Amino acid sequence: MEIFNHNIIIIGAGSIGTALGNTLAKKRGLDIKLLSIEKDVVKSINETRNNSKYFPNIKLAKYLKATSDVEVLKEADIVFLAIPSNVTVDYTLSVKEYFRDDAILLNMAKGFSKGHYTITESLSQELPNPVCSFKGPTFARELINKLPTAFTIGSVHIEHDGIFNEIFYNTPIHVDFTSDVKGVELLSILKNIYAIGMGIVDAHFNSANLRFLFLTKAFNEMKDILLKYGGREDTLFKYCGYGDFGLTALNDLSRNRTLGLLIGKGFFTNDISDKVVLEGKNAVSVFCDEFAKSKSRSCHYPIMTELYKVFNGNYDVSNFVNEVINS
């Protein structure tokens, strides 16, 4: 099955944007471009078929092109937003005049926007475009090496299911679909938080029993928060839920799990926090602020509560596991 006339722009030529673009550029009928502000990366991709900054040892697809010219957005049918969560909304709105009203936007960033809104909520308030979520258990280095990879597409437009099944057909990317856009966004944030907790546990104990005790508590706490803020329980069992949580909490390539390991071993400092984008750490404060506003009893969410204490004051991290288990 071949497809035609899909002009796809991926905003961001970092690791995940490049991996996604490289995967799709190998398929006939798709016009794929990476839009990046990193001019050295654009030059490297176009002149050497190599992203020297993010994948220096990978030869990229022949038809993958990169540009710094936002004018390319005018022809886009589909736009993937593959830039950090803290700049996604501001950047996207800064180029909104270039979007066609029917262009489909898919957010790949995992974090909150300003005002404690999800990124899709913030963009939907400002744009006429359909704004979707695209999240799953994915490490870019595995995707670019053609290993099977999964994503959930969150969209209220049922016709998008067919469009994206067609686009990803016969590629290493496998997708499932839900209309629960907010649930997909929330789970992509929550899994980072609980991955930090898993890292702290594993830093202190090499125990399979304890690991899966904690994972079960974490998964249930994620469910309760998901439902409290308007997501659906069935979304937990999409790729963006159980799959992405497992990948992030249990694999040492995960930045947020690594943050937990650093905390648990006593190597975490404010200097590390300031220099590394850590969506989970920032999201803990957002959720706890929301709990305070709604007067939710913190004992409902013991893991979240203990992580908030870890990041806000002097905390004896050796007590983390006991506090969570005995709460």
Give the pairing of strands 6-11 and 65-67: unpaired
The structure tokens listed for 286 are: 């957002």
Expressed in percent and rounded to 5, the helix, strand and coil fractions of the chain are 55, 15, 30
Q: Write the single-letter amino acid at 134.
A: F
Q: Residue 238 and residue 135: Cα distance in Å, rounded? A: 10
Residues in CB range of 104: below 8 A, 6 or more apart:
77, 78, 79, 129, 130, 132, 160, 163
Whether residue 293 lies in the annotated active site: no
Would you list the DSSP string of 134-165?
Answer: EE-S--HHHHHTT--EEEEEE-S-THHHHHHH
Looking at 27, 182, 191, 309, which residue is catalytic? 191
Phi, psi values for residue 154, rounded to 5°? -100, 115
Q: Residue 156 and residue 240: Cα distance in Å, rounded? A: 16
Burial of 292 (0-12, 13-18, 19+ CB in 10 A): exposed
Task: Name the one residue in this structure whose structure tokens are 């437009």.
Answer: 157
Q: Residue 45 and residue 115: Cα distance in Å, rounded? A: 37
Q: Sign of the C-alpha dihedral, residues 119, 125, 126, 132?
A: positive
Q: Write the single-letter amino acid at 114.
A: K
Q: Give the angle 65-68-72 at the CA atoms, nearest 5°.
A: 70
The structure tokens listed for 201 are: 């546990």
Q: Residue 315 and residue 308: Cα distance in Å, rounded? A: 10
Would you name the residues annotated as active-site residues? 191
